Structure 1
Amino acid sequence: MAWWHKTVHNPILFCHAMRTIFILQILPLANSLSFDYPNFKNGDVKWEGDASVLKGAIQVTSNTIDQNNNYSVGRVTSFEQMVLWDMKSRKLADFTTKFSFVIFSENRYYGDGMAFFLADPNLPLLKDIKEGGGLGLVDGEQQWSLTPSTTNYRTLRVALIIKYNSSTLNLSVSFTMYNDSNTVEEYISYKVDLRDHLPGRVVLGFSAATGRLYEVHTLRSWSFSLSLQSDDKTNEEKPEAVPPDSSLIDSKKGKKIGFLSGLVFTFLWKRSRDRREVLVFDDEFPKGTGPKSFSYNELASATNKFAESEKLGQGGFGAVYKGYLKDMKSYAAIKRISRESRQGIKEYVTEVKVISQLRHRNLVQLIGWCHEKNDFVLVYEFMPNGSLDSHLYGVKSFLTWRVRYNIALGLASALLYLQEEWEQCVIHRDIKSSNIMLDSSFNAKLGDFGLARLVDHEKGSQTTHIAGTRGYIAPEYFSSGKATKESDIYSFGVVLLEIACGRKCVELKAEESEITLVEWVWKLYGLGRSLEEVDPKLCGEFNEKQMIRLVVVGY
């Protein structure tokens, strides 16, 4: 059983943690257990990893000014294990726990989260947990690969009361959250037999972890009381009858029960958090003319409920569908962000905030957005001729030299606008042939601004985690971590070489010195064979001066 706050929660991890068969350790046990810590001092509880006591509170993960708080894991538990249910009589304990905590994030979007748990005592060792997704309970996948913004922050103050009634098998949670002078109160109850999900002996406590995104988890107070009535006549009585467990008959249903019990606490947090996030997005996104907000039902109707038959393609952050917008009487490209995407929500917000401000004939126009039903959807103008790479390497129509050269000029115009002509410098960070769309006249339009960064013109660079696609990333960006105008120009040059050569930027089957397109072209240039790289599909029908210009700029 676990309560957690989590940006991208993973119930499978919870089920795994609750169902692992453990080797029991010889530790103190209690048929009754009670404690009350309105604040904390050394020796009150057991802490592991990066957890520590600071000013009467417990910092579950790292909270240091002069050190990196990323990839921090901490765990806090009571010194005593408790008997949740008696193995002989099968009697269950009643328990009540109350705790309050604060989650502070310098970033607008939270990191991985925090959990309150009852679990088998032999949890995975913290040294084996290196990422934030497992919440310090199990090893989990990284959820983000970008450094969060440090310009905004939130402080959330939460108080919870969790009660379990063994006679009715009722698990109830009262949830109160204080944020920005608002108070959110929720209540939920669920009938669950904890004997089906937990061993008789359990350990209880809190755990948290951070990945590339981080937040500070502060436990302010904690009280707990448990009572299990002992029975000396256990051997004379038959064990308490246990209702037929359908999980023994149907393992799939048993898994579902475990899944639902894990979601009891998750539901409360996500419902209130999602409500707040929608309001935050609405406040930040542009209003008035230009891109607008769509309802989920509108977009589901436009794409025939996101049918496979309407899918145009699948990218790293989600799938793109063709849809017909009845109110606008036009087709649109509708991108549904994948719920499994490591960067999904952050890319969604970045895309809307950046591209909605840009206006240029060689940029894909954003029509609108939607964030409902835990879905994040972007709506773009429809590009009937698809992406550049689908023509260079796919089965779509052959591109003549005149069309190719015009595409190169259009992309150059877009890059000039982003770097010099708009009020801020936009570093795209993912310029590649699959992100260059072609309209009905084969004019180039640069799209996918989910990784983009805005910097002042005089600065012209931003230190960040490496983002982009292999073969397009500038060597100096890869080594320094600084995304610059020049790193985007390098990616632009690679696309120019693709246009000229008709070859992918990386060919793994090629000779070692020819795997990357840039190395191959440079090798031919050094041998004085600079036009041998030209796409043979052109059959020599190209302007030689334009071709040389394109290749020279490319490498």
Structure 2
Amino acid sequence: MLLFSCKILTSLNLSLVFCLFVINNAVITISTATEFDFGTLTLASLKLLGDAHMNNGSVRLTRDVTVPYDGAGKALYSKPVRFRLPGTHTPASFSTFFSFSITNLNPSSIGAGLAFVITPDGEQVGSAGGSLGLLDEKGAGLGFVAVEFDTLMDVEFSDINGNHVGLDLNSMVSTQVVNLDTINVDLKSGDLVNSWIEYDGLTRAFNISVSYSNLKPKVPILSFTLDLDQYVNDFMYVGFSGSTQGSTEIHSIEWWSFSSSFESNSGTGSGSAPPPPTASLMNPTANSVKSPPPSLAPSGSSTTQKSSKSSSCHNQLCKQGAGAVAGVVTASAFFAIFAGVLIWFFSKRYKHVKKSESFTSDIIRMPKEFSYRELRSATKCFNANRIIGHGAFGTVYKGILPQNGDIIAVKRCSHNSQGKDEFLSELSIIGTLRHRNLVRLQGWCHEKGEILLVYDLMPNGSLDKALFEARSPLPWPHRSKILLGVASALAYLHQECENQVIHRDVKTSNIMLDEGFNARLGDFGLARQVEHDKSPDATVAAGTMGYLAPEYLLTGRATEKTDVFSYGAVVLEVASGRRPIEKEITGVGKVGVASNLVEWVWSLHREGRLLTAADARLEGQFDEAEMRRVLLVGLACSHPDPLARPTMRGVVQMLVGEAEVPIVPRAKPSMTFSTSHLLLSLQDSVSDCNGMITLSSSSSENDFIHGDHLV
């Protein structure tokens, strides 16, 4: 026991010495922080000025009109942010991340762009045109520091081109500028663009990063030194400003997070920094009607009470620290610290052993293990506003890692035994897979009864949303590239892995799109591994109706050919712009039978009108021979007889033109199953949750063809 205590005391030496050093040198750090993002902001927390307005959860700075016009709008955080402490010349450090898109309804018209702005004026909008709403009608600045994303080359402002980023200081003539063509980013493409802006108040370092990717570039596109103290007041507003110049540009802010803080060392400064103001600028509430003055705390705000309590405790600790310089650490205080360390040591050791014994033995050679604390922080305590999707047995949240600003997708698995089984299955399978068309697993977490998977976030969302929820139709070149990518991923899973992987849930909502609209197949919660040349075991049928092969519904035996059938349904869905199962409206408020996409395309092929299936929204903007080949590939993969379906490696060869598409009969072949071939009865065929229905013994063949989903 004495030896153990000595070891503990030895391990405490550095900590105690450091604490005494801090006290004796009176090093006091004062921090004032502002932090918010789209997950915590409400409409009452924003100032929408001019043409700025909300649209489906995003902020648009200009109008949604098809006729060219001149207009401007601003969107500002409703409360002023402290950018300088009174009596000092040390500006705040801040960092902001935002995702935006610039879409032109009329490609023949361009201009002018948008800007991230820091301004003392929270009420006025500048003029339209090339000034981005930052200058008044006389061309005078309203006072601002802005990072512009300019889509118009304006000779008046010495612009280098119509696709650049610049730093504007009370003037539209940029003091720092860079051509975005050098990193292959086109502001006018309509694609989602990500930007990181960081400023260090102590070193005066100003960094700007831009990328299509959700991972912050290692090297900023612009890096320079700026004394922000010359351009800011004690309090400033932050937000965005944008304008049009005889154009139809739509400037949309899809995500925004911002944080600022002060750091001051009284040991090196000329005096003690004043305490932070008691106003809380974090987590604004929807019922805030009038912003209080910066020096007053909003009444009834729990956040403010916490901030005030934290400030009070901090000041008290500072006084105690100063008194400790002249005093002596008492024995009781020492033993209290000693006891606290012992409790902490044993609790951490116990938790670690318990966690290792109960869970990590199931996981070998997996990616990084994240802590629950950092994932909870990244998702703002799993805020409902951060939900970006629902996968098999789990909800998916958008997260931003605080330590490096990387954007991630966090899948929070269901709190039941089945959910844990699917989690272990997904982790054990995808953790060993490496392919450019698979969603990359970054890591996992299992703490506090939670099971979490961390993936790369795909900035362009799912294929399902790109097909049916986007403002403009997905172009055919994107669609054909996506289909080839998914086929390549499935060929890898079926024939190139150490063990064959059957996905069992191939559908458009599980196909994600990266910044270049490359396909990434994800959600392996239902996947199964099978040794090559081994017959798969019969299981319960799982998946989504419209994508499920008929033999899989009746036998429960998932093979690579059941994935091929699902892929065929995806091909027809992408080519036609129609969902696999669609309700037919027969009258006002009346819904008739559901239409099955595969059946519909087979009928068009029988009538010799196959190209009629092409998505009308494409307006003929595709190569007819390529469209016909893709539709025939879809039908070949959707063949009722699994033995007649091609392999996914063969599909890849067909899509790139290295192999001919097999002859697809005009009339859809039929296939029958004898009762001796059924491995499962209908009442045993069930599947997972998330939009799928249970089959019962009373289900008929029409249920298989015209049902919605299987759950």
TM-score normalised by length of structure 1: 0.48
Which of the pair has more CA radius of gyration? 2
TM-score normalised by length of structure 2: 0.38
Greater share of strand residues, 1 or 2? 1
